[in-house]
Each structure stands twice: as structure tokens, then as C-alpha cells.
């Protein structure tokens, strides 16, 4: 990890840069695949699945037989852990439901808002080096609670054309309508345009690599909404001299093992603590099964010393981390002052991996500084709000004159006339 001591603010932009390729470097590839899938449908999907995943598929969807086999293959201990996670995620997201409240803005004028589910949603689950069945829970559970009619899950197959049984089991448990053996750019393109067999959806959710992130952003140009730009994983820990160095190191490594393009940052007001954590990282990384990946990610990562907690907080808000862990003797200062973060983990016994799996919060979060403008996935992500108004005769009499004056001032005669006619009918 690269160490930076008291970096001046003028250097923060460069210091906090993510280890990602520029959009221009991959946009050409994404665009060409989109155009191919738009023109050729299933043939385009098959072509890129063969190229990128090394398998030729006749059927893109998991069969009933595969679902039954998956349930048998998942160990009972894992099923119990998945159920605990499902219960906690369900509790947290169910609590986000709101009731209809009618507001009488003026006597005779009633206004209210009602939420309706997005009818067709696509859930993208990355494949690669780890079967992220936890992401199935994070996306499918709120979609099910929201009442989405079609929930299409897309995830890349292995070279045998198979999906990890735990992904299939979690999807079936959480109400997924169809499980699609397609990943990468071609999956996002298929969900965007629809093909002979793949349904077109209204909104696409889920994390992915940089190619998937750009593909999701391109989907918005074709009228399909997305949850957020969610690219390679990132974590920032703030720790002072009171922090447990082994805990901090374990949290940093838990994100570093996600992928070579992940980034972890430690910000501290103690130079000694930076050194302790660095030593702990070297000790712990040797025992990881994914140490090769973690080591590459660590090379992209930073140890940053600053003099004061005020400077630390300012730097953290400038970075806007996806995951933010607070391990200090004044956690409240950071909790109350953080403005840009996807999910916050407070205290020595709140590891980031708890949020990844079983605490109940959602782990699908904005990355790459998008926490400055985006929220993580929540129940409202799967809903849309529709406003309603109902005006009585008395109500139109109370606000009609104001509407006429406002419409007249904007030169919109038909707007004014729509009210005038009604007011005249009441005389």
C-alpha cells in the first residue's frame, strides 16, 4: 500500500483517484456489442456468451430440473445461513414501506402519493471468481416485497453452461421469475432490448465490472432505468490510535479480495496505527485463498495520515466511499459528519462483511464517488411514486383564480380556459 503523510488538499484529487479505466477505453466495445444484440437478438447473445464465457448455449434459462437439483446440492448449513440473511434483509426492507397520506392543501383540494411497483426488473449478478448469491438476496428480496411482477435474474454460466447451485437456490427462494445464463455486456444488452426469448425490462439492478457498469449507463440511452453506477468494490476505514489493527487489516483485505480493481483506503490520525495495520495486512494476506487477487488490489490502495479528525472527515467526504468503517474514540463525530457514503459501519465489532451478508442492510451501493448523488439500493428503488389530486367544486373555486392569473402570465390561454370554463359553470 502506498503511504501518504499529510497530503495537501491540492493533491487529494490525484491521491483519491480510483484504479479504473477511462470510459473511452471500453465504451467502444460496449457500444458494438449493444448494436449487435439489438440487431441480432439471441444470435448476438449466443456469440458473446461463447466468446467471453467459453460455452455454447441453446437455452439461456435455468430449467425446473436444474432448480430441483440445486436445492439438493446446497448444504443444509448454507441454507440455514441464507435463511437468516433473508429474514434480516426482509425485516430491514419491509420497514421501508410507507402508507398513503391524503393532504388537503386547500379546502376542497386533496393531494396524495401512492407507490406502485416497477413491473419488470432485471437483476444482474456478477460471476467471475466468486458466486455472489448474497447479491441475489439483496436485489430479489426488495423486488419481491415491492411487488414487481417480473423479476429476471442474469448471471454468467461456467464453461459447462451451469450456474452455481447457491445462486439458483437463493433466486428460487426470493421469488425470481426467470434465471438467465447470460452475463457481461450481452446480458445488459439483452435486458435492454429484449430478444426472441429474453424479456425486455424497465430497470436494471446490480453490481459488475467496469464493462457492466458502462453497459448499464448505455442502457439508459435506450429508455431503461438503472439503480446506479456500481463498479469495482471500495472501502475506506478511518482509525485512530485506539483501533484494533488486526480488525482494520481484516476489513481492508475483505474488500481487496473482491477483485484486482478493488480499492481500499485507511485514513488515520496515528502514524503508528498505519504501520501496525500495514504489518497486519502482510501477516493476514499470506493465509488468504485469494491472496493473489488481494495483493493486486492492495497495490491500488492507500494509507493516509492526517493531523486531525476534521481533516480526515473532509477527505472522506471528498472521496465518498462505497463502504465506510469508523473505528475511533469519537465515532459520533464521523457518523454525524459524513455526507457522502454508501453504507457506514460503526465500531470495532461491525465488520463490512456483516453488511455484505446478514445484518439486513443492502450491499448494492454506488461506487466511484457516486455516493455524492446516489443512494444504495432500497425498497423505493423498485417502486415509482404516482401523485394524485382530487378537487371539489369548492376546491376549484378556492384555487381557480390563482391558476387563471398564473396561466395568463405565462401566456398559456388553453390552461387558463380549462379553469375559466369550470368556474363559469358554477356561477
| Residues with active-site annotation | 322-323
Three-class DSSP labels, 43-60: HHHHHHHHHHHCCCCCCC
* Closest alpha carbon to 190 in 137, 126, 124: 124
Pairing mode of beta strands 120-124, 383-391 = unpaired
Q: Sign of dihedral through CA atoms 72, 75, 81, 82?
A: negative
User: On the CB side of 389, how many CA atoms lie within 13 Å of its CA?
Assistant: 8
Contact indicator for 238, 328 with CB cutoff of 8 Å: yes
In whole angstroms, what is the distance from residue 330 CA to residue 315 CA?
17
In whole angstroms, what is the distance from residue 324 CA to residue 322 CA?
7
**φ, ψ dihedrals at 378, nearest 5°:** -145, -175
For residue 381, the 8-state DSSP code is G
Q: Can you tell me which residue has the cell 451501493?
A: 365
Alpha helices in 54-197 (DSSP H): 64-73, 76-94, 133-146, 165-173, 184-193
In whole angstroms, what is the distance from residue 317 CA to residue 338 CA?
6
Task: Characterise 161 by phi-psi region: left (phi > 0), alpha (psi -120 to 50), beta (else).
Answer: left
Contact indicator for 215, 352 with CB cutoff of 8 Å: no
C-alpha grid cell, residue 329: 474514540
Neighbours of 208 (CB within 10 A): 24
Amino acid at each position: 500500500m502506498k503511504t501518504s503523510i499529510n497530503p495537501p488538499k491540492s493533491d487529494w484529487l490525484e491521491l483519491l483517484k480510483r484504479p479504473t479505466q477511462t470510459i473511452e477505453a471500453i465504451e467502444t466495445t460496449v457500444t458494438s456489442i449493444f448494436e449487435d444484440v439489438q440487431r441480432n437478438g439471441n444470435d448476438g447473445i449466443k456469440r458473446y456468451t461463447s466468446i467471453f464465457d467459453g460455452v455454447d448455449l441453446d437455452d439461456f434459462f435455468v430449467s425446473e430440473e436444474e432448480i430441483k437439483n440445486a436445492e439438493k446440492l446446497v448444504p443444509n448449513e448454507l441454507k440455514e445461513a441464507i435463511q437468516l440473511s433473508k429474514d434480516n434483509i426482509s425485516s430491514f426492507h419491509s420497514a421501508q414501506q410507507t402508507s398513503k397520506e391524503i393532504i388537503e392543501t386547500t379546502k376542497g383540494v386533496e393531494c396524495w402519493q401512492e407507490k406502485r411497483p416497477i413491473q419488470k426488473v432485471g437483476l444482474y449478478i456478477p460471476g467471475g471468481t466468486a458466486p455472489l448469491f448474497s447479491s441475489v438476496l439483496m436485489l430479489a428480496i426488495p423486488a419481491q416485497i415491492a411487488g414487481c411482477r417480473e423479476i429476471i435474474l442474469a448471471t454468467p454460466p461456467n464453461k459447462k453452461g451451469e450456474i452455481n447451485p447457491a445462486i439458483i437456490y437463493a433466486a428460487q427462494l426470493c421469488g425470481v421469475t426467470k434465471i438467465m445464463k447470460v452475463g457481461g455486456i450481452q446480458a445488459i444488452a439483452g435486458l435492454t432490448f429484449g430478444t426472441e426469448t429474453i424479456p425486455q425490462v424497465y430497470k436494471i439492478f446490480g453490481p459488475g465490472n467496469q464493462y457492466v457498469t458502462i453497459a448499464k449507463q448505455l442502457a439508459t440511452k435506450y429508455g431503461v432505468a438503472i439503480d446506479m453506477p456500481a463498479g469495482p468494490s471500495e472501502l475506506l476505514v478511518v482509525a485512530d490510535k485506539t483501533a484494533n489493527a488486526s480488525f482494520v487489516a481484516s476489513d481492508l483485505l475483505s474488500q481487496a479480495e473482491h477483485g484486482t480493481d478493488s480499492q481500499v483506503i485507511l485514513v488515520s490520525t496515528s502514524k503508528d496505527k498505519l504501520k501496525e495495520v500495514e504489518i497486519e495486512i502482510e501477516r493476514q494476506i499470506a493465509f488468504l485463498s485469494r491472496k493473489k487477487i488481494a495483493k493486486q488490489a492492495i497495490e491500488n490502495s492507500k494509507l493516509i495520515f492526517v493531523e486531525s479528525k476534521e481533516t480526515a472527515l473532509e477527505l472522506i467526504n471528498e472521496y465518498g466511499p462505497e463502504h465506510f468503517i469508523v473505528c475511533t474514540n469519537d465515532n459520533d463525530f464521523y457518523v454525524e459528519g459524513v455526507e457522502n457514503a454508501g453504507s457506514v459501519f460503526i465500531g470495532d465489532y461491525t465488520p463490512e462483511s456483516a453488511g455484505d451478508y446478514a445484518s439486513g442492510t443492502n450491499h448494492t451501493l454506488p461506487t466511484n464517488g457516486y455516493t455524492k448523488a446516489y443512494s444504495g439500493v432500497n425498497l423505493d428503488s423498485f417502486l415509482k411514486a404516482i401523485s394524485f389530486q382530487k378537487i371539489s367544486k369548492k376546491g376549484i373555486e378556492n384555487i381557480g383564480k390563482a391558476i387563471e392569473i398564473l396561466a395568463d402570465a405565462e401566456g398559456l390561454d388553453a390552461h387558463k380556459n380549462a379553469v375559466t370554463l369550470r368556474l363559469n359553470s358554477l356561477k
